[in-house]
Structure 1
Amino acid sequence: MLLVIAVVHAHIFRLLATGDAAAPTGVLDTATTMAVLVFAEARGYPMFAALFGYGLAWIYLRRTAEGRPWPWIRALVRRRGRWMVAIGLLHTLLLFFGDIIAVYGLIALLFAGLLHVTDRRLLAHGFTWMAVGSLIYALGTTLPALTDPESAEAVMSPDPLADMVVRLVTWPVMTPLLMMTSVFPFAIGVWAARRRLLEHPEAHLPLLRRVAGIGIPLAVLGGLPQALMSTGLWRPPIAVETGGVWLHVLTGYAGGFGYAALIALIAVRLGDRPGPITRALVATGQRSMTCYLLQSVAWTVLFTPYALDLAARLSGFTSVLVGVAVWATTVVLADLMRRAGVRGPAERFLRWRTYAPLGRDRLDPSLPGADGDRRTP
């Protein structure tokens, strides 16, 4: 998931930093842009949102097994959400305009009740948001004022203070838009956690194979119209463009779920004998928020006009290579933290602020799930 996000962000950051809203030139850059759109863009976030829903549902199931009442669990989830919103706002203010931590914090605040409803109500909410939320997002991102090439030149300012102000102003717009597209995968993640799909994938192999075998190809096909439009190979009317973006987001859900299912199938194949690469990836997942924030530090240092400003000297292809290199660096750092027995600082801070009001009860060793959410995304 973090690899997919790194590739997308590196590609987007180059466009934002250079104001390059024109179609890519050259076969390699065109192919790179198309590959990013059909395999990565709007495909990584749904997987992240599904894993977030899975993690919150896991907390709910563990705390319920302890005998905790629903109001206690709901307060815990919402407190976690409030601190995620605070972290996301700070992340936006200091580093990156496309924050998703606050998005998921907002979901925890507004939709904590979905953890406690029946499957039927859960899926009804999810599919409603799939249709309505994705359509609103498509309309919002294809308005002429937002797609005007002239406006793209001003996204990244050479003045860091002005850039901070732009990020702060766009945050109240971007966060609700991204939230609208994330409720559906969040609900699916909760549904999957109730069935332990990722904890016991060997018991769900037929379903996982169908999700991966259908979801990933569907995402590729659904992303082709957006890829053709972004590369300038197809210039349809605005209504058709909106439909293309909507299709891109809808099939992105299938791609995100397909990737998660594929990873679960690979985990079954690997069995209980993880090698050094697998252990490093696990360490990265356990420190996903820390690694996500480290990526944003890298984008700021590498791509912004007031830092190294590499964007002006990178092609679309090389920017993706930089994204892969940034991701690989975070994997190495996460593995070094694992070897040293150090938890991710962002995860440690969030856990501390979530459980601090509970006092000694939060670490009572007599409770079977007292430390049960340490593995959640």
Structure 2
Amino acid sequence: MTGLISPEPAPESGPPRPVGAGERSLLPDVLRGLALLGILIVNVQDFAGFREWTQGGVNRAVQVVTDMLFNGRSISLFAMLFGWGAAGLLARHGAGTLARRLLVLLLIGAAHFVLVWHGDIIANYALLAFALLLTARLTAPLLVTLAALLGGWWLWSGVLTGLARLDSSRVRFDGLPDLRPGMGYAEVVSARAATLPNDLIGSTLYNGPWLLALFCLGAAAQRTGLLTHPQAHRPLLRRLATFGLGLGLPLGALLAWLNTQPSLAAGLLAIPVRMGGGLASALGYVGVLGLLAAAGRLGPLRAFAASGRVAMSNYIAQSLFMTTFFYPYGGGYFGQWGAAYSVLLALVFGLAQLPLSAWVLSRFGAGPLERLTRLLVYGWGTRREPGAG
């Protein structure tokens, strides 16, 4: 069992089981691995404690590149892949297995939030994804329509909120954790534990329509076989690449400009610009990589598949390393590094996860958290995946 939600082959007889290595499609794992690296590059701003609009010189240049290529893009791609995998699991094993997996992910995500980092997305995804249980009979066109309605309403609401604050003199909210020099681990954990219920519920209510839209787009891709059989969808992939990047890159430039402005209005407008442009670029990335996969030309990008297969273990390992390095109870560099050094550290660590992931798969067949999840959902113990390594 690999990734947050694994891809699933066609229904079969017998008890539920996780997907074997020989049954997997390469493209989804490559996309997930690339998204994971992009998420780390964006999240390092929160880990390191710098504010986007205060960056100058080379730090600002790095922030601009981050905004244009990764910010909102990687998380949109990751969320769509989550929906894609959940839809496959629902089709293969039914509502009971998907519900059990989501409950396990909810517990893992809550533990990640309290014990490691306040920016966890696993619990939020798991809680919202229960709504996908109601979509089992929806066709791909209906799922896309539902995504357009939910996503369009959420984006428009965000634009209106930002425009309403254009005359405000307030400074934007940075969202950084409240960390002070000398804080111990127990103090940080206690503070996060106290805020978990409110943070989880608040994030679910605020981000719910947008994330459900992304989940529905992923489910539509699962219905059509877009990611598992890209060679059969070349015209669609070309349109995604052309129109997705054609819209996403200009919106990325607008986001980069908004993130140089300290005003509250700029901060609020950056949210729909980030996510709208992020979705467009993510679809563009799917188009480009899908065309490469269809032509058998993924080349060195294939290395990201190993990271994508152990996405949950890698995601939490990123949080463990970065918080230990930056937080007061570890290295204590929080608030001392700008974008350039922080992103460089993220790149080095994220790329180092590629060969490590390949080794873990060859040695154990699955990541530690993937193995734990498999045990709790399927009762398969610690057996290696069929065809692994």
User: Which TM-score band (shorter chain)?
Assistant: 0.7 to 0.9
C-alpha distance in 1, partners of 2:164/2:176? 17
In structure 1, which of residues 337, 345, 351 is the aligned counterpart of residue 360 of structure 2?
337
1:88 partner amino acid:
G
Match of 2:29 in 1: none
- Note the C-alpha offset of 1:149: 6.6
* C-alpha distance after superposition, 1:116-150 (max 9, x if no partner): 223344233212220233456678999999x8578
1:5 Cα offset (Å): 0.4
Number of the residue aligned with 2:3: none
8 Å Cα contact 1:284/1:331 also seen in 2 = yes
Distance 1:32 1:331 in 2: 23
CA distance in 2, matches of 1:258, 1:319: 27
TM-score by length of 2: 0.78
Change (3 A) 1:342 1:24: same
Contact 2:79 2:211 in 1 (8 A): yes
The alpha carbon displacement at 1:244 in A equals 4.0
Which structure 2 residues correspond to residues 22-101 of structure 1 after superposition, within 5 A?
23-63=53-93, 73-101=94-122
Distance 1:150 1:185 in 2: 25
Which one-letter code corresponds to 1:315 in the other structure? G
Which one-letter code corresponds to 1:269 in the other structure?
A: A
**Are positions 1:130 and 2:151 aligned together?**
yes
Indicate the residue corresponding to 2:27 in structure 1. Answer: none
Letter in 1 for 2:315: Y
Q: Contact 1:129–1:180 at 8 Å: present in 2 too? A: yes
Corresponding residue of 1:262: 288
Residues 1:149 and 1:21: Cα distance change in structure 2 (over 3 Å): farther
| Equivalence for 1:368 | none
- Cα distance between partner residues in 2 of 1:264 and 1:78: 30
Q: What is the CA distance between 1:82 and its match in structure 2?
A: 1.2
Percent identity, aligned pairs only, is 25
1:306 corresponds in structure 2 to 329
1:192 aligned onto 2:182: no
> What is the Cα deviation at residue 90 of structure 1?
0.5
1:322 to 345, 350, 369: 345
Q: Against the structure 1 CA distance between its residues 307 and 296, is the aligned structure 2 distance closer, same or farther, given a 3 Å change threshold? A: same
Q: Tell whether the 8 Å contact from 1:103 to 1:178 is kept in structure 2 after alignment.
A: no
Within-5 A mapping of 1:287-302: 287-302=310-325
Amino acid in structure 2 at the alignment position of 1:123: V
Whether the 8 Å CA contact 1:97–1:171 is kept in 2: the answer is: no
**SS at 2:227's partner residue?**
coil
1:24 corresponds to which letter in structure 2? T
Aligned length: 343
Query: Per-residue displacement from partner, 1:231-271 (whole Å, max 9, x unpaired)?
Result: 23xx6672x65344323211211112222222222223335
Q: Against the structure 1 CA distance between its residues 47 and 228, is the aligned structure 2 distance closer, same or farther, given a 3 Å change threshold?
A: same
**Aligned partner of residue 179 in structure 1, secondary structure:** helix
CA RMSD of aligned residues (A): 3.2
Q: Tell me how far apart the structure 1 counterparts of residues 187 and 204 of structure 2 sit (CA, whole Å).
A: 20
Q: Which runs of 5+ in 1 are unaligned?
A: 64-72, 364-370
Q: Between Structure 1 and Structure 2, which shows a larger proportion of helix residues? A: 1
Q: Any conservation in 1 of the 2:74–2:282 contact (CA below 8 Å)?
A: yes
Q: Aligned partners of 1:142 and 1:166: how far apart in 2?
A: 34
Which consecutive residues of structure 2, in runs of 5 or more, have no partner in the other structure? 1-34
Tell me the distance in 2 between the aligned counterparts of 1:334 and 1:141.
42
Aligned to 1:366: none
- Corresponding position of 1:229: 258
Q: Distance in 1 between matches of 2:173 and 2:147?
A: 37
Equivalent position to 1:205, from 224, 231, 234: 234
- In the TM superposition, structure 1's runs of 4+ consecutive aligned residues that sit over 6 Å from their partners are 137-145
The offset of 1:42, in angstroms, is 1.1
Q: Equivalences for 1:264-279 in 2 at 5 Å?
A: 264-270=290-296, 277-278=300-301
2:42 pairs with 1:8: yes
